């Protein structure tokens, strides 16, 4: 564990507290334009660091790592909650951004061009609700919704209680888009047309609304259920589980589903997938006994208040 922490906490040229990652580095393991700082990796990194605090020995070496982890967690939480978070207010702020700003007083810290905001986001964003967007890096924001990263953000308490509630509000408001006929969309929306050809390299598996390009994955059901229980919204999980129960056995437990609503068994989906079965069973058991949530969820750290004003102002 200390060897891994030495690698992850080492100094480098990167000035952000997030982890720099290549395309295909997470659950989405093929070219899908997630290079940079994908939300999945950052949420998992945050959770891993918090778990490390509980597991490290309280000796001299352990205390040194604990100090470095605490510092990184403060910077990472501030960075993610400030720059990856999107709701109606933040979307409107980005829409009115001025570009080519300089100095620490700059509002548009990543020099994002407002014209780069995709059209779909204006209809997708509800009045109440929000989520952590897929990626943020200089002059680039990936506004896509990624289920795994947002659920882990809730379970790890990377998301504040208010943000966790907003994520649940978004799922309820955009049920057809994010859940549809089969929980749960791995990302939304799908890449298509010329963008699909450029970003994926004409990947025949990641065609629109299939596999990792907007496909629906039953294995994500347990993460959704855990997030629902933690936020006090078990009715959302119950509704999703009932949807899954109506099809999974009949369809022989496929790996993923295709289509905008997840109506079709994935064109290359293998059947009798262990993780599809396991995702359903874990979700069902957690809903029956919510105390199981303690095995996979971390409570909010009341001491974790931002100690910095700008993400680039931290050093080791």
Output the tens digit of pLDDT for each of the chain's 316 residues.
999 999 999 887 777 999 999 998 889 999 999 999 999 999 999 999 999 999 999 888 889 999 999 999 999 999 999 999 999 999 999 998 887 767 677 788 888 888 999 999 999 999 999 999 999 998 899 999 999 999 999 999 999 999 999 999 999 999 999 999 999 999 999 999 999 999 999 999 999 999 999 999 999 999 999 999 999 999 999 999 999 999 999 999 999 999 999 999 999 999 999 999 999 999 999 999 999 999 999 999 877 654 444 334 344 3
According to DSSP, residue 213 is labeled B
Q: Which two tokens mark 80?
A: 């993610």
- Per-state percent for the chain, helix, strand, coil, to nearest 5: 45, 10, 45
pLDDT at residue number 15: 78
CB within 8 Å of 179: residues ≥ 6 apart: 171, 185, 240, 243, 262
Residue 110 confidence (pLDDT): 83
- Give the whole-angstrom CA distance, residue 269 versus residue 273: 9
Looking at residue 265, its pLDDT comes to: 98
Report the distance separating Cα 197 and Cα 208, nearest Å. Answer: 11
Please give the Cα distance from 240 to 287 (Å, whole number).
11
Greatest pairwise CA separation for the chain in angstroms: 59
Q: pTM above the 0.75 mark?
A: yes
Handedness of CA 101, 102, 105, 107 (dihedral sign): positive
Using an 8 Å Cβ cutoff, are 179 and 243 in contact? yes
Please tell me what DSSP assigns to residue 294: G
Exposure of 280 by Cβ count < 10 A (0-12 exposed, 13-18 middle, 19+ buried)? buried
What is the pLDDT at residue 49?
97
d(CA 34, CA 25): 8
* Nearest residue to 296 (alpha-carbon basis) of 221, 227, 217: 227
140-146 and 187-188 strand pairing: antiparallel
∠ CA 137-183-190, nearest 5°, is 40
86 Cβ neighbours under 8 A, 6+ residues apart: 94, 125, 130, 131, 132, 133, 143
**Contact yes or no for 53/74 (Cβ under 8 A):** no
Q: DSSP label at 99? A: S
Residue 262's nearest CA partner among 279, 243, 237, 280 is 243
CB 255 within 8 A of CB 276: yes
Return the axis-axis angle of helices 234-245 and 161-173, rounded to nearest 10°: 40
Position 307 scores a pLDDT of 42
- Look at residues 17, 81, 212, 164 and name the one whose alpha carbon lies nearest to residue 204: 212
């Amino acid at each position: 564990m200390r060897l891994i922490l030495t690698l992850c906490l080492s100094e480098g040229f990167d000035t952000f507290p997030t982890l720099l990652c290549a395309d295909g580095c997470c659950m989405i393991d093929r070219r899908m334009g997630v290079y940079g700082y994908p939300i999945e990796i950052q949420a998992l990194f945050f959770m891993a660091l918090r778990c490390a605090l509980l597991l490290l020995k309280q000796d001299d070496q352990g205390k040194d790592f604990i100090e470095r982890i605490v510092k990184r967690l403060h910077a990472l939480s501030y960075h993610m909650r400030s720059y990856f978070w999107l709701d109606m207010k933040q979307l409107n702020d980005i829409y009115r951004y001025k570009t080519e700003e300089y100095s620490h007083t700059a509002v548009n810290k990543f020099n994002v061009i407002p014209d780069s905001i995709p059209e779909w986001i204006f209809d997708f964003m509800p009045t109440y609700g929000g989520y952590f967007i897929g990626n943020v890096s200089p002059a680039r924001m990936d506004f896509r919704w990624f289920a795994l990263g947002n659920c882990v953000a809730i379970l790890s308490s990377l998301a504040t209680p208010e943000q966790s509630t907003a994520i649940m509000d978004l799922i309820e408001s955009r049920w057809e888009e994010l859940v549809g006929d089969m929980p749960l969309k791995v990302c939304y929306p799908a890449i298509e047309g010329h963008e699909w050809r450029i970003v994926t390299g004409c990947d025949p598996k990641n065609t629109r609304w299939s596999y990792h390009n907007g496909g629906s994955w039953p294995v994500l059901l347990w993460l959704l259920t855990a997030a629902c229980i933690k936020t006090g919204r078990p009715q959302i999980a119950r509704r999703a589980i009932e949807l899954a129960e109506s099809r999974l056995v009949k369809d022989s437990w496929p790996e993923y589903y295709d289509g905008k609503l997840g109506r079709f068994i994935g064109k290359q989906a293998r059947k009798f997938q262990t993780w599809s079965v396991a995702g359903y069973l874990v979700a069902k058991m957690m809903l029956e006994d919510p105390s199981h949530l303690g095995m996979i969820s971390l409570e909010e750290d009341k001491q974790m208040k931002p100690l910095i004003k700008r993400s680039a102002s931290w050093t080791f």
